[in-house]
């Protein structure tokens, strides 16, 4: 990273943390945060500032998160088609980074059908998330990637090709500017956006303790439908656990579509 970018990123992180705490008691601070990021986006040429082209969509997104908790994003950086956030047919789909062949096959069967009529939302992580984006694009659909890193920081690096494809044919969004390095806390913050944006959450494959289950927790708090692909009884499957807790078992895309309709 160039040295001249370090100071703005540190300032951004400080205000982001400060205002997240203060927003619960003083929403007016949102105005000052927007003013700051306007300045920031002009200073750093690599940042793409959300309000520049879509202030109405920005507040639409805020309203989605605000209904569920008091920690909406104060700013969103993006690449691609920002109008996708106003699409009424968003479906979130996630899963483990260490997917099996079974998880890959199930992803293909479900996402290729969903992509015909719905915009998929995922986190561009290794594994199932990447497959969600890949199968959506390969079948002519639209997909939204929600990053836990800076908008211009490709993580994992092996996803460079899919990142460029989503940037061209879909939408990439992030709360973090430029090349902000991903940290564990960033992914937990990212998960609440994935859970909020979709009408429901599809879990293809998951470990019992994982980031996937963290996203499920957010989705449950938001009152979202949870759809899970069942797995064999010899596996400690997060999906099987969720099904026993009341999530809907999915063995075909029609199980999802009937709820969406």
Select from 76, 100, 131 the last residue of a domain. Answer: 76
Do 141 and 223 share a domain, yes or no? yes
Q: Are 129 and 210 in contact (CB under 8 A)?
A: no
Q: pLDDT tens track of the chain, all 261 residues?
A: 332 333 344 555 555 566 556 545 565 665 665 556 555 544 443 333 444 344 445 555 655 555 555 566 667 788 888 889 888 899 999 999 999 999 999 999 999 999 999 999 999 999 999 999 999 999 999 999 999 998 889 999 999 999 999 999 999 998 887 788 888 888 998 999 999 899 999 999 999 999 999 999 999 988 999 999 999 887 789 999 999 999 999 999 999 999 998
Domain of 11 in residue numbering reads as 3-76
SS3 label, residue 115: coil
d(Cα 233, Cα 236) in Å, to the nearest integer? 8
d(Cα 24, Cα 58) in Å, to the nearest integer? 19
Domain of residue 229, CATH code: 3.40.50.450
Type and span of the H or E element at 125: none
Residues making up the chain, counted from first to last: 261
Do 42 and 116 share a domain, yes or no? no
Do 149 and 62 share a domain, yes or no? no
Do 94 and 223 share a domain, yes or no? yes
Do 212 and 244 share a domain, yes or no? yes
In the chain, helix, strand, coil percent, each to 5? 50, 15, 35
Count of domains in the chain? 2
Q: Are 22 and 32 in contact (CB under 8 A)?
A: no
Question: Token digits for 27?
Answer: 């929403």
Select from 76, 107, 138 the last residue of a domain. Answer: 76
């Amino acid at each position: 990273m160039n040295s001249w970018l370090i100071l703005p990123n540190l300032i951004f992180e400080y205000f982001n943390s400060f205002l997240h705490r203060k927003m619960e008691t003083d929403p007016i601070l949102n105005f000052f945060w927007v003013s700051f990021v306007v300045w920031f986006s002009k200073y750093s040429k690599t940042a793409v500032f959300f309000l520049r082209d879509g202030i109405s969509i920005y507040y639409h997104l805020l309203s989605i998160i605000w209904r569920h908790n008091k920690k909406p994003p104060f700013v969103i950086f993006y690449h691609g088609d920002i109008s996708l956030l106003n699409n009424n047919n968003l479906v979130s789909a996630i899963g483990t980074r260490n997917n099996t062949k079974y998880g890959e096959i199930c992803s293909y069967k479900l996402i290729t059908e969903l992509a015909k009529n719905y915009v998929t939302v995922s986190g561009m992580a290794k594994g199932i998330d990447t497959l969600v984006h890949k199968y959506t694009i390969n079948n002519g659909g639209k997909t939204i990637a929600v990053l836990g890193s800076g908008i211009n920081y490709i993580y994992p690096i092996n996803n460079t090709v899919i990142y460029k494809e989503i940037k061209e044919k879909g939408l990439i969004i992030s709360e973090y500017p430029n090349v902000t390095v991903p940290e564990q806390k960033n992914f937990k913050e990212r998960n609440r956006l994935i859970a909020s944006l979709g009408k429901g959450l599809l879990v293809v494959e998951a470990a019992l303790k994982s980031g996937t289950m963290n996203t499920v927790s957010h989705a449950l708090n938001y009152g979202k439908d949870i759809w899970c692909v069942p797995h064999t009884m010899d596996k400690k499957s997060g999906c099987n656990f969720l099904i026993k807790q009341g999530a809907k078992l999915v063995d075909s895309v029609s199980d999802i579509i009937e709820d969406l309709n």
